[in-house]
Amino acid sequence: MADFDLQPIFAALEPGLGDPAGEPEVLSGGITNRNLRVPFEAGDYVLRICTPGVEIISIDRETEVEANRNAHAAGVAPEVAAWLPDLGCLVTAFVPGEPMTAEAMAEPARISELGGALRAVHAGPELATAFPTFSLAWEYEESARKLGGGADPDDLALARELSERIGEALEGRPGHEQVPCHNDMLTANFIATGDGLVLVDWEYAGMNDRFFDLGNAAVNNEFGDAEGALLLEAYFGAEPDETQVASLALMRLMSDVREAMWGVVQGAASQIDFDYGDYAAQHFDRLRRGAGDPRLEGWLRGSAS
């Protein structure tokens, strides 16, 4: 049961969804918002009770709703039943299906579905806001510092150096134009249904480099080189070339820069009971391992080795 008053939300939803037909169920796993599954007369829906003050982590709720609706129209996201900005509540249709694990996502059939889903998202209408991959982490750093937080100076120096080098390497490289992106390809944000993968949690959506979604998905689902190549082939419809392989590898690193710095700022700002410090440390650790890969210089030149 939720520990806050849901009655104003239920009253606002009654004309479209009817009255609740059972008790709300708290959905676990959210580390930014609180999510509830609620049975209404019209069916089961998920209520996202949005955490206030999320501008500090670059969430734009109107863009989230727009991106979710666009992705639903493309067949890869749940329907948006209602957006109640005054009550801070987004309501989407509950998607019955199988929550994913990294092991399940690495199966070739799932990778194929993921590539197709991302291709559909990236072909969608332009979104009103951008997700600035190469500056966002430093906005997070500044916000954390103002709140008394921060990270190890050596970790910050490595993250900044990699970010600058990767940004310079990818600037002007073909295939890196801005497209609508999800930008939060965690395993928990995939649901397997009989019709394929459904992507949930669109709060970080914005215009970005397609390779950020691809790299974000690959690293967060622990894909190896073979799985990464399968993802690129599923997405582009052909065996990937060296430049595409290199771009994927570089954006895997940028994903960890973002995730680590997200953990830093959330550790300073969030009131949710979650160990953001450990989250940041895990991503800094993986970033260090990635930075030590002997293929890094080749990736920066656009080579796969």
Question: Helices 133-146 and 242-269 meet at what angle, rounded to 10?
Answer: 20
* Residue 297: predicted pLDDT: 96
- Looking at domain 99-301, its CATH superfamily turns out to be Aminoglycoside phosphotransferase (APH), C-terminal lobe (3.90.1200.10)
Residue 258: predicted pLDDT:
96
Q: Which CATH superfamily is domain 7-95 in?
A: Phosphorylase Kinase; domain 1 (3.30.200.20)
51, two tokens: 């955490």
| φ/ψ of residue 189, rounded to 5 | -95, 10
CA distance 146 to 268: 9
Residues of the chain with CATH 3.30.200.20: 7-95
Give the pLDDT of the chain (305 residues) as one tens digit per residue: 455 789 999 999 999 999 999 999 988 766 667 899 999 999 999 999 887 666 666 688 899 999 999 999 999 999 999 999 999 999 999 999 988 999 999 999 999 999 999 999 999 999 999 999 999 999 999 999 998 988 999 999 999 999 999 999 999 888 999 999 999 999 999 999 989 999 999 999 999 999 999 999 999 999 999 999 999 999 999 999 999 999 999 999 999 999 999 999 988 888 777 899 999 999 999 999 999 999 999 999 998 76
The pLDDT, as a whole number, for residue 53 is 62
For residues 288 and 158, is the Cβ–Cβ distance under 8 A?
A: yes
Phi, psi values for residue 277, rounded to 5°? -65, -45
The segment(s) of the chain belonging to CATH 3.90.1200.10 are 99-301
- The answer for 175, left when phi > 0, alpha when psi is -120 to 50, beta otherwise, is left
- Quickly list DSSP for 111-172: HHHHHHHHHHHHTSPPPSSB--HHHHHHHHHHHHHHTT----HHHHHHHHHHHHHHHHHHTT
- Cα separation of 295 and 293, whole Å? 5
